Chain A
Amino acid sequence: MPQSGAEGKKRFVLLASQFQQLFDALKRLGYQIIAPTLLDGAIVYERVESVNELPVGFSDEQRAGVYRLKRRGDRAFFGYAVGPRSWKHYLYPPRQRLWQAKRDGDGGFRVIPEQEQTPRYAFVGVRACELAAIAIQDKVFLNGQYRDEYYQRRRESALLIAVNCAYPAGNCFCSSVGTGPRVREGFDLAITEVLNGKSHLLVIEVGSERGAAVLEGVDVQIATEEQWQQAQQAVDSATRRILKRLDTTDLKELLYRHLDSPHWEAVAKRCLTCSNCTMVCPTCFCHTVEDITNLQGTVAERWRRWDSCFHIDFSYIHGSPVRVSEASRYRQWITHKLASWQDQFGMLGCVGCGRCITWCPVGIDITEEIRALRRSEEGRVAPTVPKEESDANT
């Protein structure tokens, strides 16, 4: 890595043809690389070794309830938005053993804390909304009076290589909630892909010492002002392409005013309470625990597993669940994301990634439901609005 002068401001450029060098550097430093790759017709974050495993030349079409891969006709590494899996899959795995207990002779037992080897991940391709989602989960798991050591270990050893979005998808609304598309903080390295005719570059910003260390031994050059401007233009054009909007004015008050709204019944007619939205959401943190034993009953284990407020037994207390109706469970979800999350953590629980909209089997759209609540206050009837009309209103 050349010395970055004061002027250089830690901005570098790497030829796309040499991107593999960065992967090799990560491996040399002992990181497991997790990056977007094609799996079962979608782009998901998985362990990869080489840049050839990235979804090169692919893009994703996303609408409410629709996800489709398309060929772009170029060699872009990052020409798509977010897929069904988020980084929480790795920082806060869907299933995790918390501890074991072993019986000893006299009716007692010993608890053995979990001693897993903490994986050392390098995430490549973390989008701006996802950095925001990680910051939210940091707040949930690390900032209370209780610190979740399982999350903490994984989080502290993970390296975050962000990517500025150039091709937002149809359900992205990060710009409404102030999380994207431009990456601003919380990364070790941030890449902007610049693809102009034959020129294919990766402009790289350094966000931390650890990030800088990765660039040692990678053939980067200091970015010229022109290259930097090209990178800026790529993100600016992304910002213009984001069409979906969520009006966040007084969202909390709006939702708290509508706890009794008949609108929840209207959503419940469509909602399958399948919990897809909570599983794909990068901020949802709810989990349940499972206690199991071996056949002899001498060893017991405690596991935690992602849970969802859409499951009927989520709120079970002896006799009956608190939230029986589908309407009350949808209300819990959207009220938590957009209202009570603010009381609990001082921020929205939604980063505008659009996953819950894309992966909803019936295409329920969080932004449309908020629009419907606002309209109901204007005295107009509009439970569901056709897509075109609603876009015209944004």
Chain B
Amino acid sequence: MVPRPFRLRQVRRETSDTFTLELEPADSAEGFCFRAGQFNMLYVFGVGEIPISISGNPANPRVLTHTTREVGTVTKAMGKLRRGDVIGVRGPFGTPWPIEQAEGADVVIVAGGIGLAPLRSALYHLLAQRDRYGKIVLLYGTRTPGDILYRRELQRWRAQFDLEVHITVDRALSGWRGNVGVVTSLIPRAPFDARNTVALVCGPEIMMRFAVLELQRRGVPPSHIYVSLERNMKCGVGVCGHCQLAPFFVCKDGPVFSYDKVQHLLEKREI
């Protein structure tokens, strides 16, 4: 499967180390359909190819949106790209967030750092169908106030729709009047009906483990908690073997799993 070329329409700096790319197909007018929670393999010419979640609106196939944090070789090279440059795209791959199944329920979204990116796609959908859901709560943790992603969009959504947003930071300088502490500390007080809630969780694995514990303590059953897992990925289609998590290929059986499916595995070390 060869990459399809996409041209950068827009490059937006989100924070000091994250940026959002808006892409459109360079080869034809055919748009890009995907479901919230899926990811693409993005190829930077001659440098490498990495899995990145789609962070845009699933209802708009004309623009493909990705938000990336610069951590190493490929992500840093990607951060140097400019408007008009081309990157290769393979996808979409993987399982989506269960947003249709969540209709009629409260939805609580727990995001840590760049983990908000794939959840923004879900939020677009939830807010577009706002009346089909109960309460929608976003609990979001970042390192510092300067690391908050999509800040203006979140403010707008909060004002425009019935969306609860609670943000917490690990460290804050003076001037921050919000929460300080880990995102899991927001769960006990968050307004949702645990007996009728679907939880979507994405962030570092350790954060997800604690978030799930808190959600369960509130009474959300593991089968209503969904996590998006991260593993090394080279192919995205279940043949390179890199993303294995015991019986699962995270690239095609995941990355989104209901927690009851993976709980026993995430409790093991180095699996």
**Chains A and B form a bound pair:** yes
Chain A residues within CB distance 8 Å of chain B: 98-99, 101, 103, 106-111, 113, 140-141, 144-146, 148, 256, 259-260, 285-289, 291-293, 297, 300, 302, 304, 307, 309, 314-318, 322-325, 328, 332, 335-336, 339-340, 343-344
Q: A107's contact among B86, B232, B237, B268, by CB below 8 Å, is which?
A: B86
Evaluate contact between A107 and B247: CB separation under 8 angstroms. Answer: no
A341 to B182: give the CA distance in the assembly, Å: 38
A58 to B245: give the CA distance in the assembly, Å: 43
Q: A144's contact among B4, B47, B231, B237, by CB below 8 Å, is which?
A: B237
Q: Per DSSP, are chain A's interface residues mostly helix, strand or loop, or mixed?
A: mixed
Evaluate contact between B230 and A307: CB separation under 8 angstroms. Answer: no
Q: A289's contact among B7, B240, B241, by CB below 8 Å, is which?
A: B240
**Residues of chain B contacted by A289 (CB below 8 angstroms):** 49, 234-235, 240
Evaluate contact between A109 and B252: CB separation under 8 angstroms. Answer: no
Nearest residue (CB) in B for A328 is: B270
State how many angstroms separate the Cβ of B249 from the closest Cβ of chain A.
Answer: 7
Known: A146-B237, A316-B232, A317-B231. A286 touches B242 (CB 8 A): yes
Number of interface residues of B (CB under 8 A): 40
Evaluate contact between A106 and B71: CB separation under 8 angstroms. Answer: no
Known: A106-B84, A315-B231, A336-B244. A145 touches B49 (CB 8 A): no
A98 to B241: give the CA distance in the assembly, Å: 17
Q: B239's contact among A141, A316, A322, by CB below 8 Å, is which?
A: A141
Find the residue from B232, B234, B241, B246 having the highest chain A CB count within 10 A: B241
**Residues of chain A contacted by B270 (CB below 8 angstroms):** 322-325, 328
Evaluate contact between A344 and B26: CB separation under 8 angstroms. Answer: no
**Residues of chain B contacted by A107 (CB below 8 angstroms):** 7, 82, 84-86
Evaluate contact between A340 and B246: CB separation under 8 angstroms. Answer: yes
Evaluate contact between B26 and A293: CB separation under 8 angstroms. Answer: no
Task: Answer yes or no: B175 CB below 8 A from chain A CBs.
Answer: no
Task: Answer yes or no: B222 CB below 8 A from chain A CBs.
Answer: no
**Residues of chain A contacted by B85 (CB below 8 angstroms):** 107-108
State how many angstroms separate the Cβ of A253 from the closest Cβ of chain B.
Answer: 13
Contact string, B1-23, partner A, CB cutoff 8 A, digits 1/0?
11111010000000000000000
**Residues of chain A contacted by B86 (CB below 8 angstroms):** 107-109
Chain B residues within CB distance 8 Å of chain A: 1-5, 7, 26, 43, 45-49, 71-72, 82, 84-86, 88, 230-232, 234-235, 237-242, 244, 246-247, 249, 252, 268-271
A255 to B232: give the CA distance in the assembly, Å: 24
State how many angstroms separate the Cβ of B29 from the closest Cβ of chain A.
Answer: 16
State how many angstroms separate the Cβ of A116 from the closest Cβ of chain B.
Answer: 14
Evaluate contact between A340 and B244: CB separation under 8 angstroms. Answer: yes
20 new A-B contacts, CB < 8 A, other than A260-B268, A328-B271, are A99-B2, A101-B3, A109-B45, A145-B252, A146-B237, A259-B271, A287-B235, A288-B242, A289-B240, A292-B46, A293-B45, A293-B46, A300-B45, A307-B242, A322-B271, A325-B270, A336-B244, A340-B244, A340-B246, A344-B247
**Residues of chain B contacted by A324 (CB below 8 angstroms):** 270
Known: A260-B268, A322-B271. A315 touches B242 (CB 8 A): yes
Evaluate contact between B46 and A318: CB separation under 8 angstroms. Answer: no
State how many angstroms separate the Cβ of B27 from the closest Cβ of chain A.
Answer: 9
**Residues of chain A contacted by B45 (CB below 8 angstroms):** 101, 103, 109, 293, 300
A41 to B45: give the CA distance in the assembly, Å: 43
Evaluate contact between B242 and A314: CB separation under 8 angstroms. Answer: yes
**Residues of chain B contacted by A148 (CB below 8 angstroms):** 239
Evaluate contact between A111 and B2: CB separation under 8 angstroms. Answer: yes
Evaluate contact between B26 and A108: CB separation under 8 angstroms. Answer: yes
Evaluate contact between B232 and A317: CB separation under 8 angstroms. Answer: yes
**Residues of chain B contacted by A106 (CB below 8 angstroms):** 84
Evaluate contact between B241 and A285: CB separation under 8 angstroms. Answer: yes
Evaluate contact between A297 and B46: CB separation under 8 angstroms. Answer: yes
**Can you list 7 A-B pairs, Cβ within 8 angstroms, ordered by A?**
A108-B85, A109-B45, A145-B238, A259-B268, A291-B49, A332-B244, A340-B244
**Residues of chain B contacted by A317 (CB below 8 angstroms):** 230-232
**Residues of chain A contacted by B235 (CB below 8 angstroms):** 287, 289
Nearest residue (CB) in B for A111 is: B2
**Residues of chain A contacted by B84 (CB below 8 angstroms):** 106-107
